[in-house]
């Protein structure tokens, strides 16, 4: 599992091998070690972040937390459609968080158990739920479980960061981004943090 110390070591190794990544650190410094706590709140926030701005997702998340006081499966399941809509959930995302809450409530999804699985099995356990696709699962592994070699190829900001760092005319497709990331194994999660750092630093 990555932490600040192993992240810095991974970045040093990546920068020694790849001048393009080294240039990011030269221009913008070492990025902060971005991580989230594993559990229901992070998965709810990731579902909200699908295809909307981070600010919009955060606002909806905070409205829900403010209303419930504490984010729990029971609290989500007790929320009415109107309450979730007022929080800022679309009908589809309201269904997704209800399915997630129900799976946690009945034990069909055990997030502590997921955290103990190898990467592929952890992804599989997460994407089995409606509303948790490859992007959500990969970002959960990267940010919450802090796996060192996750690489969310469907992430638009990561695609744009790769376009800039490699001087491409267009954003790489997911398959192209997968190929771009191959030389950065087994530190692709650290490479992703560097590319996000570039994206955020040069808007």
The pLDDT tens digits for 146-177 are 999 999 999 999 999 999 999 999 999 999 99
pLDDT of residue 163: 97
Report how far apart, in Å, the C-alpha atoms of 81 and of each of 50, 61, 87, 90 are. 19, 15, 10, 10
DSSP H helices, the chain, are 4-17, 19-28, 40-49, 54-68, 73-78, 81-87, 91-106, 111-115, 119-127, 134-143, 156-166, 174-181, 188-201
All structural domains of the chain with their residue ranges:
4-34+150-201, 40-143
Residue 8 has pLDDT above 80, yes or no: yes
Segment 31-68, tens digit of pLDDT: 999 999 999 999 999 999 998 888 999 999 999 999 99
pLDDT for the residue 62: 97
Shared fold status for 4-34+150-201 and 40-143: no
Read off the pLDDT of each residue in 104-119 and give the average, rounded to a whole number. 96
pLDDT of residue 54: 87
Give the span between the Cα atoms of 63 and 86, in whole angstroms.
8
Rg (C-alpha) for the chain, rounded Å, is 18
- Residue 115, pLDDT > 90, answer yes
For residues 14-25, give the mean pLDDT: 98
Cα 194 to Cα 190: distance, rounded to the nearest angstrom: 6
pLDDT band at 109 (very low <50, low <70, confident <90, very high): very high
CA distances from 124 to 4, 127, 134, 148, 163 (A): 27, 5, 9, 18, 29
Over residues 105-123, the mean pLDDT reads 97
Residues 6+ apart with CB under 8 A from 99: 129, 130, 131
Which architecture, in CATH terms, is 4-34+150-201?
Orthogonal Bundle (1.10)
Question: Which tens digits make up the pLDDT trace of 59-103?
Answer: 999 999 999 999 999 999 999 999 999 999 999 999 999 999 999
pTM of the model: 0.95
Domain 40-143 CATH class label: mainly alpha
Query: Taking 90 as the threshold, does the pLDDT of residue 203 lie above it?
Result: no
Structure tokens at 168: 């491409």
């Amino acid at each position: 599992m990555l932490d600040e110390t192993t992240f810095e070591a991974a970045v040093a190794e990546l920068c020694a091998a790849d001048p393009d990544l080294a240039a990011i650190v030269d221009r913008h410094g070492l990025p902060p070690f971005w991580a989230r706590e594993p559990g229901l709140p992070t998965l709810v926030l990731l579902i909200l972040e699908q295809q909307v701005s981070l600010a919009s997702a955060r606002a909806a998340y905070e409205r829900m937390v403010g209303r419930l006081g504490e984010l729990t499966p029971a609290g989500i399941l007790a929320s009415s459609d109107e309450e979730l809509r007022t929080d800022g959930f679309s009908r589809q995302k309201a269904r997704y968080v209800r399915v997630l809450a129900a799976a946690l409530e009945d034990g069909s999804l055990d997030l502590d158990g997921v955290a103990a699985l190898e990467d592929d099995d952890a992804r599989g356990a997460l994407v089995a739920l409606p509303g948790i696709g490859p992007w959500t699962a990969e970002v959960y592994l990267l940010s919450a479980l802090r796996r060192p070699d996750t690489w969310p190829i469907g992430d638009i900001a990561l695609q744009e960061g790769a376009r800039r760092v490699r001087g491409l005319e267009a954003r790489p497709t997911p398959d192209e981004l997968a190929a771009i990331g191959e030389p950065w194994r087994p530190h692709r999660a650290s490479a992703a943090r560097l590319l996000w750092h570039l994206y955020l630093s040069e808007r």
